[in-house]
Structure 1
Amino acid sequence: MSLLLSVGRAVLNISVPRRPGFAGAPDGLLAGLQADTPGASERRGAVHRWRWIAIGAWLCLIASGGMLAYTLGERAGIHSLQQGTTHRLDIYSASLRSELNRYEYLPQVLSLSPDVLDLLRKPSDRNLQLDANVYLETVNAHALASAIYVMDAQGLTLAASNWNQRGSFVDINFSYRPYFQDALRGQPGRFYGIGTVSREPGYYFSFGIPGEGDMLGVATVKVSLDKLDEAWSHSTEKVLAVDGNGVVFLSSDSAWKFRALRPLSSETLIELAKTRQYAEAGELTPIEMREKKRLSGGDSTVVQLSANEARRQTGGEPFGPDYLLDSRPVDGTDWKLIMLSDMKPAHALARTSALATMFALVFLTLLVLFFQQRRRIVHQRLAAREALQQAYDELEHMVGLRTEALSAANHHLQSEITERKRAEEILKTTLDDLVQTGKMAVLGQMSAGITHELNQPLAALRTLSANAMVYLERGQGAQVDFNLRTICQLTDRMGQITAQLKKFARRSAVELQPVVLGDVIADALFLLNQRIRHDQIRIEQAIEPGLLALCEGNRLEQVVVNLLTNAFDATLTATDGAPAIPRRVRIVARSGPEGARLEMHDNGTGIAPEIMPRLFEPFFTTKEQGVGLGLGLAISAGIVRDFGGLLRAGQSELGGAVFIVILRNGQRAETPSHA
């Protein structure tokens, strides 16, 4: 700031001509006269107000862009969930329908059996009853149904496959069941309910057995759906099967079985009590779930569990997560299959889209401000150059006039002109140096801070984003969630890096605290993992467990990344055009008499003796033009100095270079028992 003020004063002194009466006026007086100009304070107030209006408009634009990106990202995530849910519902529906179709024909086949017909015509004949029982038992041994039984026209069971078992259906009247009443009217009976004798749920198929004029009886097959129930219980998804009344009778979550999706009406409860469909299931408590919004273009709905239901499902969380509810009717029944998909992936995608959009808008704003500032600097340079040229022209003109009028003092004037030209050249050179220094300071704070220091986190973001797409295609939601969380952590870390670069540029105070060197090295290697694998660099580590150093962890990680990057470049340079040798980088962290000592060795080309004195100078680099700015080691050395430490270089025992970071020791951490 002081440098820019000095340049401004120099330009002002050159560009503003001095009046004869004000040749010796001090700067404070000139400033006072300008401040007292009528309307100056009003203009400054107006500029201040417009500046705040522009900032407010910019913040509104950022917020609006983030909200729009969040909405579009959430919509895309929901669409992806819907596609996967639709496919899985088709599979569940097909498996359920296939299980039912296996037994649908069986009651009609039983109605053709002579043993069954003879028993219905002579129900009191015990021999015929025994033959029918044995026949039904034999059929069920092959069909593997829960039970097969035959009832007369009054609903009394005459024969059953479980006739010689505990809980036999023989002599039990089921006339109150809807499947019996439908079959007696000549319609195929279909019914799901809990058995009043066996206390086991099942699906009932029934068929009326016609006689001469009237129905002789009803053949019934009870099928257990426990296999589907058991298969669903192992699913990571929430799958429900509900009947026409909204009662859940199959569920991947046993806590929701025989509960209602909504409160049942009194008429429905009376009808269920009459048929005793769920007589053994309790009160059919409704699932506490509320609808948040209904999605357009389908039956999908976003729902949320209540506080009590959320604690039951998530183990104590006060509110349950949002779920995408999709349903599918089951052909041939009044049932519906319902699937609840967790909305966390959609919300994570929406948050990522919003953050990316907001960061892009902020970056574009900073880019515009950077070019505007650059244009202003160029304009000031041109104005200063024009002012210098004007002053020079006026001086030449005055010298010419003085030369013509005072030819006798020609020698003295020539000497004065020579001295003045020399002073003007010094002033011009000084001005160019000041402007160039200011320009390089801006470029050093912005370009070096953003381009050089954020290069590795951006590479990590690209890798994690690509992996997230692959995991998403494979349906590995847990890995996608882990990658997205890691991306959020990296973006937070990028914000911390830029804040730390700003503190470094301003020479701000550093808040030191004990930091585990092993964790810092692990984080740095994580950021460089892709390059390590790509360049086949062998990393050797000798890290003292629990070693603490007094520093700031994020900034120390920045130093480690810079030094490792230089070591990788050195190993690549050493093998360029030469026979292939293993590329090695050794990291050593140990305590010593000087403090905590961190060494990074490589087997690269090493450091030439003539380069060593200039190694930590800003903008000094041995790399090709356009590859490096020469700021990495200078920034690293400054960070270490802020920690009260020391960064030095030398020759490594591996044949290349070694960079040594010495920091003050922190309190030693406890070593884990498994270390």
Structure 2
Amino acid sequence: MQRPRPALPRYVLIGMAALAAIAAAGWLAYVLALDAAFARMEREANDRLALIASTFDATVARYRYLPAVLSLADPIRELYRDPHDASATAAANRYLKSLNQGARSAELYVLDSTGLALAASNFDLDSSFVGHNYGFRAYFMDAMRTGEGHYYAVGATTGQPGYFLSHRIMEGGKTLGVAVVKIDLSALEADWASAGDLVAMEDENGVIFLASREDWKYRPLLPIPAQRLAELNAAQQFGQAIDPAPVFVPKGDRERVQIGRARGRGNVELGDYALQVRPHDQGWRLLLFSDVADARRNASTVAIASVFALIASLLVVLVAYQRRQVVRAKLDAHDVLERRVAERTEELRRTMESLVQSAKLASLGQALAGVAHEINQPLAALITYVASSRVLLRRNEVDRAAANLDLMSSIAERMMALIDHLRMFARKETGTRSAVALAPVIDNAIRLLQYRIDNEHIEVVRSAPAEPLHGLANPIRLEQVVVNLLSNAIDAMRDRERRVLGVTLDRHDDSAVIEVSDTGAGIAPEHIKSLFDPFFTTKEIGEGLGLGLSISYGIVREFGGDILVDSTPGRGSTFKVVIPVMDVALASPHQELHA
């Protein structure tokens, strides 16, 4: 008959339960710390993506109005009147080359209604666009169909990639052709790479066309079906076949963050990364890849610290238990001595042995207390190290870089409350005109520049009629014009002792007039006739492209109005925006009114 297996001692069971509890606590600490790290990674990635997106938008915005402004230039208009006139072609080529150098764009060129390049800024180079037909390009077809086009591609003639912005040129209701500006975004990619970010831009077809890693360009983020890939290659958008190997292989999500394996050239594994996506215009998506190794190392460190903390806590509890046992043993021994003082020597000897054993337990308790004290010190140091290494291990950078990133994040949070109106002010408008209350437009414009008015101690003198005055305009675009005139007036008074900014709203017959006057240095008579020309400016280099007044003039002309200027050198200038008055009482019931 087999003997039953003896039960494990109680202290062994307690020890095993304690080890299991410690392991479970360590794993729970790891999971919670990893979730917190991914949540923080998501917030930081969203902040970084917002900053990168704003930088991208600002880069493109510098050139967004250039094709429309280009279509108003006299040399371009003369070329379209007689495309076969050699002198007109030469003048247009020289104008585009000069304008391209001033704007620092990649190339400027104009196409006729079939897509044939009539003139270009690179007319004198071997890679000249002149004489080539670009009617197959999406930016040409979109501009002919909708008035504007946007397209990123590798140049069919130069072989250089760029972002193309196009604008339809019309006269008397007839389409003459398309004006195009090509923007070089390689400097933006270099900035991404130098900042140490893994950033990419994906087009509407799922193909990466901008990236901080050169080996990611013209590859899909995720696998693309073979038939669709063949269609994209047939379009020759990138001047080469698209590498079918995907950049990212998803493995799962955690805390709303997509985790996967990133791959370099030849499908070389780069490691696990968290992918954050921010939608952009035209179906594009901005991608940011964050290395998850830092988050896992941080979580492991937190788990180890938690285990040590739990062990220290258990040691403290054990020490307290041992001390209580010692006290209890002493009390029991004292009672035994009182009861058996007259008993036999053997009993006295046994009592003395019990006291000796109790003394041994007391010594053990003191030793355990010392061990617990010695563990607490490195534990505190370890916890402190966790707090600091959380920053250092993020990308193995120095403290200054991490502090700079934290500072950037805190500035962005403090400014979030200020951009509500700026977002509305900067949104893309359709150009639809309607009856607009003019006084609120002026109020919004002054509010946008109030910080400059206060900082530069400018006195604002306003005048407006008692009754509301409406004009035929677009409220956002009209506000853009007023902001530009106010900003110019403030700049003009920068070095003047007397700084008075006058803003007047009035009505003259069937026109509404907004006057913006300053007490600045005034405008030289020889400069008056060039004020509204593109890229004309009297400011220092780096303070503006000279497009503000040209764009404002074009906007007001769209409203059926005009901008007038009156200036006296040494006394100041006055700009008048004249637009048609709208009688709200007589307006169409279907016409939208903006207040």
**Same fold (TM > 0.5):** yes
Code of the aligned partner of 1:328? R
Q: 1:323 to 1:132 in 2, by over 3 A?
A: same
Q: Does 1:196 align with 2:156?
A: yes
Deviation at 1:194, TM superposition (A): 0.3
The code of the aligned residue for 2:277 comes to S
Counterpart of 1:284, as a letter, is D
- CA apart distance, 1:261: 0.4
Aligned to 2:262: 305
Query: By how many angstroms is 1:435 displaced?
Result: 3.4
Please name the residue that 1:264 is paired with.
Answer: 224
Structure 1 or 2: more strand by fraction: 2
2:27 to 30, 51, 67: 67
The change in CA–CA distance for 1:439 and 1:106 in structure 2 (over 3 A counts) is same
What SS does the aligned partner of 2:130 have? coil
Q: Secondary structure of 2:125's partner?
A: coil
Mapping for residues 65-144 of structure 1, pairs under 5 Å: 65-144=25-104
Residue type at the aligned position of 2:249: R
Q: Contact 1:300–1:327 at 8 Å: present in 2 too?
A: no
Alignment partner of 1:328 is 2:278: yes
- Whether contact under 8 Å (2:53, 2:286) holds in the other structure is yes
Partner residue, 1:289: 248
Q: Which residue of 1 aligns with 2:120?
A: 160
Matched residue SS, 2:250 = strand
The offset of 1:428, in angstroms, is 8.2
- The CA RMSD measured in Å over matched residues stands at 3.5
What aligned pairs does 1:571-650 form with structure 2 within 5 A after superposition? none
TM-score (norm 1): 0.53
Distance 2:75 2:317 in 1: 93
Query: Counterparts of 1:253 and 1:308 in 2: how far apart (Å)?
Result: 10
Shift of 1:426: 7.5
Question: In 2, Cα distance between the equivalents of 1:274 and 1:128?
Answer: 37
The alignment partner of 1:185 has SS state of: helix
Query: C-alpha distance in 1, partners of 2:274/2:149?
Result: 34
Distance 1:119 1:470, change over 3 A: closer
Give the equivalent residue in structure 2 for 1:461: 382
1:255 maps to a residue whose letter is D
Partner Cα distance (1:368, 1:158) in 2: 89
User: What's the CA shift string for 1:165-206, capped at 9, x where partnerless?
Assistant: 110001101111011001111330000000011010001111
Q: Report deviation, 1:311.
A: 4.4
| Distance in 1 (alpha carbons) for counterparts of 2:264 and 2:120 | 47
Preserved CA contact (<8 Å) 1:194 1:277:
yes
- Please say if residues 381 and 435 of structure 1, whose CA atoms lie closer than 8 Å, have aligned partners that are also in contact: no
Q: Does structure 2 conserve the Cα–Cα contact (< 8 Å) formed by 1:239 and 1:337?
A: yes
Any idea what the Cα deviations from partners look like across 1:351-398, whole Å, max 9, x if unmatched? 122222222333333344444444444444444444444333567xxx
Change beyond 3 A, Cα 1:466–1:312 = closer
Q: For 2:191, which of 218, 227, 231 is the aligned residue? A: 231
Match of 1:57 among 17, 37, 43: 17
User: Partners of 1:56 and 1:113 in 2: how far apart?
Assistant: 86
Residue 135 of structure 2 corresponds to: 175
Question: Who is 1:417 aligned against?
Answer: none
Deviations 1:72-91 (A, max 9, x none): 11111122222222222111
Change (3 A) 1:304 1:130: same
2:365 counterpart of 1:443 = yes
Partner Cα separation in structure 2 for residue 72 and residue 49 of structure 1? 35
Deviation of the 1:217 alpha carbon: 1.2
> Any idea what the Cα deviations from partners look like across 1:11-65, whole Å, max 9, x if unmatched?
xxxxxxxxxxxxxxxxxxxxxxxxxxxxxxx999665276655444333322221
Say which is worse superposed, 162-171 or 359-368, in terms of deviation. 359-368
Q: Is the 8 A contact 2:208 2:221 kept in 1?
A: yes
5+ residue gaps, structure 1: 1-41, 315-321, 396-422, 483-675
What secondary structure is seen at the aligned counterpart in 1 of 2:201?
strand
- Cα distance change on mapping 1:346 and 1:462 into 2, 3 Å: closer
How far 1:456 sits from its partner (Å)? 5.3
Distance 1:279-1:465 versus aligned 2 partners, 3 A rule? closer
The letter for the 1-side match of 2:298 is L
User: What residue is the counterpart of 1:351 in the other structure?
Assistant: 300
Deviates more, 1:91-100 or 1:253-262: 253-262
TM-aligned CA deviation for residue 478 of structure 1: 5.5
User: Residue 121 of structure 1 contacts residue 216 of structure 1 at CA under 8 Å; is this kept in 2?
Assistant: no
Q: Structure 2 length normalisation: TM-score?
A: 0.60
Aligned partner of 2:341: which letter? Y
On the 8 A contact 2:330/2:355 being kept in 1, the answer is: no
Tell me the CA shift for residue 325 of structure 1. 1.3
Evaluate the alpha carbon distance shift between residue 200 and residue 68 of structure 1 in structure 2; reply closer, same or farther with a 3 A threshold.
same
Counterpart secondary structure, 2:57: helix
Measure the CA separation in 2 of the matches of 1:462 and 1:365.
Answer: 18
Check whether the contact 2:336–2:351 (CA below 8 A) recurs between aligned residues. Answer: no
Matched length: 401
> Which residue matches 2:180?
220
Deviation larger for 159-168 or 458-467:
458-467
Q: Distance in 2 between matches of 1:285 and 1:310?
A: 11
Q: Give the secondary-structure state (helix, strand or coil) at the position aligned to 2:36.
A: helix
Structure 1 residue 160: Cα displacement: 0.9
Contact 1:111 1:219 in 2 (8 A): yes
Q: Which residue of 1 aligns with 2:356?
A: 434
- Asked if the contact 2:100/2:121 (under 8 Å) is kept, the reply is yes
Change in CA separation of 1:436 and 1:58 when aligned onto 2, cut-off 3 Å: closer
- Whether the 8 Å CA contact 1:259–1:287 is kept in 2: the answer is yes
Q: What secondary structure sits across from 1:350 in the alignment?
A: helix
Residue of structure 2 equivalent to 1:390: 339
- Distance in 2 separating the partners of 1:242 and 1:308: 17
- Aligned mates of 2:369, 2:277 — CA distance in 1: 54
Measured in 2, the distance between the counterparts of 1:256 and 1:88 equals: 20
Q: CA–CA distance in 1 between the matches of 2:387 and 2:235?
A: 57
In structure 2, how many angstroms separate the alpha carbons of the residues matched to 1:285 and 1:263?
7
Equivalent pair of 2:302/2:386 in contact (CA under 8 Å) = no
> 8 Å contact 2:27–2:303 — kept in the other structure?
yes
Compared CA separation, residues 344 and 224, structure 1 to 2 (3 A): same
Moved more, 103-112 or 47-56: 47-56
Structure 2 partner of 1:337: 286
* 1:207 maps onto 2:167 in alignment: yes
SS at match of 1:284: coil
For 1:159 and 1:381, locate their aligned partners in 2 and report how far apart those are by CA, in whole Å. Answer: 107
Q: Displacement of 1:324 after TM fit?
A: 1.8
SS in 2 for 1:89: helix
CA contact (8 A) 1:176 1:274 kept: no
Q: Measured at CA, do residues 230 and 306 of structure 1 come closer, stay the same or move farther in structure 2, by a change above 3 Å?
A: closer
Structure 2 partner of 1:184:
144
Deviation at 1:425, TM superposition (A): 11
SS at match of 1:48: coil
Q: Following the alignment from structure 2 to structure 1, what is the Cα–Cα distance between the partners of residues 222 and 249?
A: 10
2:590 matched residue in structure 1? none
